[in-house]
Each structure stands twice: as structure tokens, then as C-alpha cells.
């Protein structure tokens, strides 16, 4: 039957058709993730398909173990939810069966280990959409999965499944995919998972292009966008250097995590892309572009944070937008925004030798900015800009004391 199908398919399509093994699918999925997903190099990749689930560990572009297991959201739906009842017993049976399938390969996966876990399946995409719709952060945890399972059980039947953020087209296979994912989290003791930037399709494309995996996907993305929108990279680097200097001065007081620092520096690199559209509304255009551009290496929540920071890089602050993103806590988003705005302000003359020596101190949300003794007296325009910025920050209860 397979031979006949392939022959007919080749005739209709007019090109050769190649059927790949489950292990080859797992390898290609990993390559797709490696080319498009930021974060630590040592990773575990999970892809729950309709009839199979791929689990791959690797470092950089190299896989260290790969498995294709005979369980999927469609087959588990037919096997454990065929009566359409979203009962605890059905979930228990589905999870137990999935753990039985996982158990023979779990030791090898744990042996190779991982620093980050990413999911590349429709189930994980659905979870991401649910969490963003409900204002949660983007990290999938076992506690969140169990919470969603209880919500599904409360709905009673598959036809009545309603969860905020869950689309109709994903609802049918969501409970079975959820049961498999809970089993994977439990059996492998996964602490957290995020959505991958690509999977099988991207792995195939990058394989045909014979491109090496960039060691820093996010840096590649930033370079490509800067080139596309003719960004002054010297100025972008100047702002990033100043923002990083500010962050180092306040990091003991504000406890900003490395990923937040990286997102701040990314915003610095992109803050002028809106100028390619229009000068007057540049922050709005920058935010729009980031929201709608493909940004390999950044998760949807991180894209939303970047867009929000760019929207608030100057002029009065839209505090509600900083609170509506879910990549970082609202308080951290406010802190990143303050550092970005100050870096842009003090790098505004676009020359390294015109950037003053600045000391920044933080006490809770109070910022004290100290300039060289006579700098304000010799720079009346700079003083006016600083006074305006201090006023804008005071409107949203961000105390800024300039000395």
C-alpha cells in the first residue's frame, strides 16, 4: 500500500517523495529548534504529534539521544477518550499508558541531561496561547498542566470543553495531548518548558540550505533586522553599552535576572527601527514592527515585552502596556523601561565622548542619578531633557532624583 501511495503521490506532485523514519523526524525537529530557538545550548526537545512523540536531547546542533515513541494526541484520543468523557479515570489511564511508553527511554534522556526544555508541538502551542490569554507567564510547569486538567475535568465532556485561550480547532486533541505532556513532565521530572521557535519544517529548510547553526540565534536575528531597517548600529551599541552600565549599577538593588538583561539589550539594539517608517511616530512604528516581524530566538511573550519597551522608550509612559506583557513580572518591566529611557536620553548626542560619567543608585523604586559637578550648568538643553524625563517618570510614580 505504501509503495502504491508513493507512486501515485509522485505522479501527482511531479517530484520524488521520501518517507522518513521516526528517528529522522526527531533529528529534523531538533535541527529546526536549534536554528530558531534561543536559550541554553543543552536542551531537551519534545514534539507531540498525532501518532508519535519525539524526544531529543542535544547540545548546540548535535543530538545526543533521539527517540520516536508510538503515542500521539490522536491515537491517545481514540484509545482513552473515545467516549468523549473528560473524566479523572480517562486522564489517569492516558497518563499511565504514556508513562509506560516513556519509561524504557527515560534513563538515557536523563543521562544526557538538559538545561532547558522546549516543546515544538501543537499541544505546547495551545498551552502557550491559553497562558497568554489568561495573563500567565510563558513557562509551562506541571502545576499549570494539572490546573488545566482539572478545568477540563470540570467541563465534563469533550464537546463542552471551554478554556480561555483554547481555540476550537485545537480543542479536540487537547485533553489527550495534555495527558501525554503531564506524563512526560512527571516521568522526566521536567521543571519548566517553553515553546520552540521552529520544528520539522524549519529543520528541513535549514538542512537543504546547509547552514551552520548560529551559536547565538538572537544575535543573528538582531543583525538581520538592523540590516533590513538600516539601523545605525554604532548608536544601537552605544545605547546598549550605557543601559548595561546602568543595569550593573542597580543590579544588587533590583536583582534583575540574566534573561531580563538580554531582553533589555535587545530592545536597545532595535530601538531605532521605527525611524525607517516615520520620525514623529518612531516608537509606535518600532513596536508595531517588532510585534509583527518573525524573531527567531524570541518567544511570543518576549516579543511582546520588546514591543512594549520600544513603545515606551520616550514620551509619557503607558504603564498599562508594561503590565499586560507576561515575559517578566510587571515590576521588572518597569525597571527595564526606566533603564532603556535613560540610556537613550544620555546617548542622544550620538558620540561616545559626549556621554557623561553617570552614577546610578537604586533604593527600592527610587533612582538617584548623579552627574559630574558642573555638567548640568554647561548643558542647558540636556538639563531640560532630564527635567522632562524626571517629570514623565513621576507621572507613573517612578521617583527620579537628579544631582
Q: What is the CATH number of domain 217-353?
A: 1.10.3210.10
C-alpha span between 14 and 283 (Å, rounded): 49
pLDDT tens track for 52-79? 999 999 988 788 999 999 999 999 999 9
Run of H or E including 112: helix 88-112
Mean pLDDT is lowest, of 148-152, 157-161, 165-169, 235-239, for 165-169
Separation of CA 229 from chain center: 23
135: left (phi over 0), alpha (psi -120 to 50) or beta: left
Q: Determine the straight-line distance between the first and last CA of the chain, rounded to whole angstroms.
A: 81
For residue 278, which of 337, 229, 243 has the smallest C-alpha distance?
229
Whole-number pLDDT of residue 210: 67
Q: What is the pLDDT of residue 303?
A: 93
Range of lowest pLDDT (108-112, 118-122, 327-331): 118-122
Q: What is the pTM of this model?
A: 0.79
- Is 70 exceeded by the pLDDT of residue 213? no
For CATH 3.30.420.150, list the domain ranges present in the chain: 2-209
pLDDT in tens, 276-322: 999 989 999 999 999 999 898 888 889 999 999 999 999 999 999 99
Q: What is the mean pLDDT of the chain?
A: 91
CATH classification code of 2-209: 3.30.420.150
- Residues of the chain within CATH 1.10.3210.10 domain(s) are 217-353
Amino acid at each position: 500500500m505504501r509503495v502504491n501511495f508513493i507512486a501515485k503521490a509522485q505522479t501527482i506532485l511531479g517530484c520524488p517523495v521520501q518517507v522518513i523514519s521516526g528517528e529522522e523526524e526527531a533529528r529534523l525537529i531538533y535541527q529546526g529548534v536549534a536554528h530558531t530557538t534561543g536559550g541554553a545550548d543543552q536542551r531537551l526537545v519534545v514534539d507531540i504529534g498525532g501518532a508519535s512523540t519525539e524526544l531529543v536531547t542535544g547540545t548546540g546542533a548535535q543530538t545526543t539521544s533521539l527517540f520516536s515513541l508510538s503515542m500521539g494526541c490522536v491515537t491517545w484520543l481514540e484509545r482513552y477518550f473515545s467516549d468523549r468523557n473528560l473524566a479523572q479515570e480517562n486522564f489517569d489511564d492516558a497518563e499511565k499508558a504514556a508513562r509506560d511508553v516513556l519509561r524504557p527511554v527515560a534513563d538515557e534522556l536523563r543521562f544526557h541531561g538538559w538545561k532547558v526544555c522546549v516543546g515544538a508541538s501543537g499541544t505546547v502551542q495551545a498551552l502557550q496561547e491559553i497562558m497568554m490569554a489568561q495573563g500567565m507567564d510563558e513557562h509551562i510547569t506541571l502545576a499549570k498542566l494539572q490546573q488545566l486538567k482539572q478545568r477540563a475535568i470540570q467541563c465534563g465532556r469533550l464537546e463542552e470543553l471551554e478554556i480561555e485561550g483554547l481555540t476550537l480547532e485545537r480543542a479536540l486533541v487537547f485533553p489527550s495531548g495534555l495527558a501525554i505532556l503531564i506524563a512526560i513532565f512527571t516521568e522526566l521530572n521536567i521543571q519548566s518548558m517553553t515553546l520552540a521557535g521552529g520544528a520539522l519544517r524549519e529543520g528541513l529548510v535549514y538542512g537543504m540550505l546547509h547552514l551552520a547553526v548560529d551559536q547565538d540565534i538572537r544575535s543573528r536575528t538582531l543583525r538581520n533586522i538592523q540590516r533590513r531597517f538600516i539601523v545605525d548600529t554604532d548608536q544601537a551599541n552605544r545605547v546598549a553599552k550605557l543601559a548595561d552600565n546602568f543595569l550593573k549599577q542597580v543590579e544588587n538593588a533590583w536583582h534583575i535576572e540574566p534573561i531580563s538583561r538580554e531582553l533589555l539589550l535587545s530592545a536597545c539594539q532595535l530601538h531605532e527601527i521605527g525611524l525607517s517608517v516615520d520620525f514623529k511616530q518612531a516608537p509606535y512604528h518600532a513596536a508595531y514592527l517588532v510585534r509583527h516581524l518573525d524573531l527567531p530566538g524570541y518567544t511570543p511573550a518576549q516579543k511582546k515585552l520588546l514591543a512594549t519597551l520600544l513603545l515606551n522608550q520616550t514620551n509619557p509612559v503607558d504603564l498599562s502596556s508594561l503590565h499586560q506583557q507576561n515575559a517578566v513580572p510587571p515590576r521588572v518591566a518597569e525597571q527595564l523601561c526606566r533603564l532603556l529611557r535613560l540610556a537613550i536620553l544620555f546617548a542622544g548626542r550620538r558620540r561616545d565622548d559626549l556621554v557623561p560619567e553617570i552614577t546610578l543608585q537604586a533604593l527600592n523604586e527610587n533612582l538617584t542619578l548623579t552627574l559630574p559637578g558642573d555638567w548640568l550648568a554647561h548643558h542647558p538643553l540636556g538639563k531640560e531633557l532630564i527635567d522632562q524625563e524626571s517629570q514623565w517618570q513621576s507621572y507613573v510614580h517612578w521617583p527620579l532624583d537628579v544631582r
